[in-house]
């Protein structure tokens, strides 16, 4: 089993477990990640933590040995597979947190970018080094990185292929926080800052914010008006406002 999915406390933990290849992503592993994402979405988990086995690497990217000598049509299908699987994180009913415990290069960095949030261990290293292979990122990096850190900074990382350490990644806005070991406990503590809120409101918030990067202000505001109005229709909104008036903690039921 190279992709493991465990339910721990109120969270699902997806672990890429191929440390002998620094958790590099073969195509079959990418398919397994997709299945694990679906299982996490169907579970009772309130957030998905994505991490890598071992202390050295989150994920060193696509499996370079597997990428060689394939017909172009297959290379395109490979990029589309990686993009489609990572995009499932956008539509996942629960938020996701990449717990980057070492190298996050190429497809590994792109997996982290596709998560809702990113946490970095002090030894985390980020990069899109495809240019050094004569390639460019193919699992969403050219689209998600500029949306996250801006065009100039994204172009610098993509065109130089250089590595950013955890401190720089934090400065760039590539990660939300640097966390100290024990890393999984730190990820759980981070996720608990939002995981007791209603999942529907969390989903509407993610969807509205994601629109900001892909549409005009006028259209984005329309989407915000629609989604914020939809939130009023939920039982959680009724409970949240009632709890405020009654001066108690709300009990959300994700309905
Ligand atoms: N694919 C396949 N195998 C990989 C790999 C990868 N991306 N990254 C590491 N490995 C393997 C190595 O081949 C090595 O295996 P062997 O022991 O069998 O030789 C093992 O993992 C350990 O790696 P190193 O000995 O190289 O470890 P290191 O600590 O000296 O260096 C590293 C670590 C800097 C991450 C280096 O392994 C490296 O540069 N890896 C490649 C990173 C990369 O270029 N990623 C982008 C891939 S392309 C891509 O992802 C395209 C896309 O957009 C989807």
Whether 95 and 221 map to the same domain: the answer is: no
Whether 49 and 145 map to the same domain: the answer is: yes
Q: Could you list the residue range(s) of the whole structural domain that residue 215 is in?
A: 199-245
Whether 144 and 224 map to the same domain: the answer is: no
pLDDT band at 154 (very low <50, low <70, confident <90, very high): very high
- Domain closes at, from 152, 171, 191: 191
Reported as a single tens digit per residue, the pLDDT across 111-129 is: 999 999 999 999 999 999 9
Helix axes 217-232, 199-212, angle to 10 degrees: 170
Q: Are the CB atoms for 4 and 40 separated by under 8 Å? A: no
Indicate the number of domains in the chain: 2
Which residue among the candidates 4, 66, 74, 130 is catalytic per the annotation?
130
Q: Which of 49, 75, 204, 197 is nearest to 133 (CA)?
A: 75
Look at residue 21 and tell me whether its pLDDT is greater than 80.
yes
Please give the sequence-ordered ranges of beta strands (E in DSSP) within the chain, or none if there are none: 3-8, 11-16, 48-52, 57-59, 96-100, 103-105, 117-120, 125-127, 164-165, 177-178
Whether 61 and 164 map to the same domain: the answer is: yes
**Measured between alpha carbons, how far is residue 46 from residues 169, 188, 194, 212 in Å?**
26, 11, 9, 25
Closest ligand 1 atom, CA of 108? 50
- The predicted model gives 90-108 an average pLDDT of 97
Q: Which residue has the tokens 């299945």?
A: 35
- Domain closes at, from 153, 168, 191: 191
239 CB-contact burial (10 Å; exposed 0-12 / middle 13-18 / buried 19+)? middle
- The predicted model gives 147-154 an average pLDDT of 97
Whether 143 and 225 map to the same domain: the answer is: no
CB count, 10 Å around CB of 224?
Answer: 17
Q: Provide the CATH number for the domain around residue 122.
A: 3.90.226.10
Tokens of 9: 């406390």
Does the active-site annotation cover 130? Answer: yes
Closest ligand 1 atom, CA of 105? 45
- The predicted model gives 233-252 an average pLDDT of 97
Cα 84 to Cα 1: distance, rounded to the nearest angstrom: 22
Whether 182 and 240 map to the same domain: the answer is: no
Residue 251 belongs to a domain: no
Look at residue 61 and tell me whether its pLDDT is greater than 90.
yes
Does the active-site annotation cover 151? Answer: no
How close is the Cα of 230 to the center of ligand 1, in Å? Answer: 46
Substitution candidate for ligand 1 out of 22, 27, 57 with most atoms within 8 A of CB: 22
Which residues have CB under 6 Å of ligand 1? 21-22, 24, 60-65, 82, 103, 105-107, 110, 129-130, 133, 137-139, 141
Whether 140 and 231 map to the same domain: the answer is: no
Reported as a single tens digit per residue, the pLDDT across 182-204 is: 999 999 999 999 999 999 999 99
Residue 250 belongs to a domain: no
Substitution candidate for ligand 1 out of 60, 78, 79, 154 with most atoms within 8 A of CB: 60
- The predicted model gives 10-18 an average pLDDT of 98
């Amino acid at each position: 089993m190279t992709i493991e999915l465990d339910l721990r406390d109120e969270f699902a933990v997806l672990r890429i477990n191929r440390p002998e290849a620094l958790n590099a992503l073969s195509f079959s592993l990418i398919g397994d990640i997709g299945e694990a994402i679906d299982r996490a979405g169907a579970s009772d988990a309130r957030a998905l933590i994505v991490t890598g086995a071992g202390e050295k690497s989150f994920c060193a990217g696509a499996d370079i040995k597997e990428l060689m000598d394939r017909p172009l049509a297959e290379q395109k299908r490979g990029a589309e597979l990686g993009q489609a699987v990572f995009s499932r994180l956008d539509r996942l009913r629960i938020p996701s947190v990449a717990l980057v415990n070492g190298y996050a290069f190429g497809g590994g960095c792109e997996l982290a970018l596709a998560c809702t949030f990113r946490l970095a261990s002090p030894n985390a290293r980020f990069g899109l080094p495809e240019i050094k292979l004569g390639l460019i990122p193919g699992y969403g990096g050219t689209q998600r990185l500029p949306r996250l850190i801006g065009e100039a900074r994204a172009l610098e990382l993509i065109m130089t292929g250089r590595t950013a350490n955890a401190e720089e990644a934090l400065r760039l806005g590539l990660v939300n926080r640097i966390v100290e070991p024990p890393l999984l406990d730190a990820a759980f503590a981070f996720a608990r800052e939002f995981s007791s809120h209603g999942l529907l409101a969390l989903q509407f918030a993610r969807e509205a914010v994601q629109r900001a990067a892909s549409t005009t202000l006028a259209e984005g505001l329309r989407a915000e008006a629609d989604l914020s109005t939809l939130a009023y229709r939920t039982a959680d909104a009724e409970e949240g406002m009632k709890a405020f008036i009654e001066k108690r903690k709300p009990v959300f039921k994700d309905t």
